[in-house]
Amino acid sequence: MDINALLGKGSEFEGKLTFEGTVRIDGRFTGEIFSDGHLVVGDGAQVQAEIRVANVTVYGTINGNIHASESVELHAPASLRGNITSPALHIDKGVFFEGACQMSSRSGAGAPAPAPQAPPPKPSVRESQPLPSPASRSKISGLFQGDAPGRAPDLKHKF
């Protein structure tokens, strides 16, 4: 992996970072990060940011939300306090993660998930409902009582 830029250990930066390719942060960063590329947060790095990238690999500490259009990888000893939105997520044993995760498709990363469709409406009382045949009533013995001809069965509840 070719690294286009590096914020080394002992370095601090505050602001908005946009980049192409791959950027590695090993120091401190505060602000916003936007890219269609790959962000690497190295062991010992401290990032406090809203992150929107294609891919992110984390070994250090992040406080903030991650929106990745392709993947998020959290490798020990990573620590993340924030929410993740990504179609692919990998978390190693030993990683600290406090937040929520929303999996989304690659094409719609960062877009809200489609609303669940409402169940079909229940039939109204006026609609015709098939009545169980006398044979099927005998199969569910104990539920109906009073099968006398011309009389509607009484419903007996059992819980």
User: Could you list the residue range(s) of the whole structural domain that residue 45 is in?
Assistant: 5-103
Q: What DSSP designation does 120 have? A: P
The closest of 49, 53, 44, 48 to 4, measured between CA atoms, is 53
Structure tokens at 37: 């590329």
Query: For residue 57, is it within any domain?
Result: yes
Res 56 pLDDT > 60: yes
Query: For residue 140, is it within any domain?
Result: no
Query: For residue 109, is it within any domain?
Result: no
pTM for the model: 0.66
Query: For residue 136, is it within any domain?
Result: no
Query: For residue 147, is it within any domain?
Result: no
CA 102/CA 146 separation, integer angstroms: 54
Query: For residue 93, is it within any domain?
Result: yes
Res 2 pLDDT > 90: no
Dihedral angle over CA of 137, 143, 148, 149, nearest 10: -40
Q: Which residue is it, tokens 């406080």?
A: 63
Phi, psi of 113, rounded to the nearest 5 degrees:
-65, 150
Total structural domains within the chain: 1
pLDDT per residue as tens digits for the range 42-51? 999 999 999 9
Query: For residue 17, is it within any domain?
Result: yes
